[in-house]
Structures are given as C-alpha cells and as structure tokens.
Homo-oligomer: A and B are copies of this chain.
Amino acid sequence: MPQVTPIYGPTNPTPTQAAKASVKYYGSVIELKPEMEEKYRKLHSEVWPEVTAAIAKAHIRNYHIFVAELAGKRYLFSFFEYTGTDSEADFAGMAKDPTIRDKWWPLTDACQIRLPGTPTNQQWLAMEQVMHID
C-alpha cells in the first residue's frame, strides 16, 4: 500500500500542507475479533472519564469509531481531529497515561487484530487520504 502514487491538488492537500493546517485529520483501521465485539461496543459506549480526559489533553477531538464488515471480516474505523502543535509529544503523552497504558489499552487491544503493514510502534493502521473538502 499504496499501489498507486498519491495525487494531490486543491481538494487533497499534500502531507506538508496538511501538517501546516491548524486541524489535522487522522483516519485509521484495525480488525475486530468477532467474539470481542460486544465487549468492545460496551467499553466504547461509556468510555471512562480518565480516558476522555487524556484524549482531550492530547488535543484530540471529534473522535469517531465505526464498525463495518468487509468480505466476512469485522473492522473498526477511527477518525479524529488533532488541534495541537506537537502531535508526537501529545500522542506520546497519552500513551504514558497510566489509565490508558495499563488499563484501557490492554482491554481494547485484546479485542483487535493488528493489520499487516502496521508499523510496530502503532496499533492501528493509518489510512491514506484521497480527498478533503472543508
């Protein structure tokens, strides 16, 4: 991935342009273990306040997770906006939050199957943007 070279233009900013924007958009995907779907849904219907606080502290907002079945497998799709100025530091800070690191992610990771091609330091696989219209 990608099989095709990215094409940028007025309605698909280059990574450099996107990095300079005040809001940055992240879309990513991971497989969902069917036998864990009910647990995953339950957890995400009432995300713990410590977790939502850590998300807000990391300047992440408008955070959606969707589920869909494709060719007989269940997948989760995540979309969020980042409004800070140092995503590396903010995401690392969130990853060090004790509730997230030691309690929340162990529960959610156990529901997921990482996809081929996902970098070793990431859980979810980034999707590539092909269009953005404000």
- A50 on the B face (CB < 8 A): no
- Chain A: residues with Cβ within 8 Å of the partner, total of 54
Chain B's nearest CB lies how many Å from the CB of A55?
6
Cβ A132 vs Cβ B64 within 8 A: yes
Output the nearest chain B residue to A46 by Cβ-Cβ distance.
Answer: B9
- Distance in angstroms from A121 CB to nearest chain B CB is 19
Within 8 Å by CB of A131, from B10, B44, B133, lies: B44
Kindly state the separation between the CA atoms of A7 and B40 in the bound complex, as whole angstroms: 10
Which residue of the partner chain B has the closest CB to A29?
Answer: B68
A52 at the interface (CB under 8 A from B): yes
**Residues of A that sit less than 8 Å from B by CB:** 1-12, 25, 27, 29, 34, 37-38, 40-42, 44-47, 52, 55, 61-71, 73-77, 79, 115, 125, 127-134
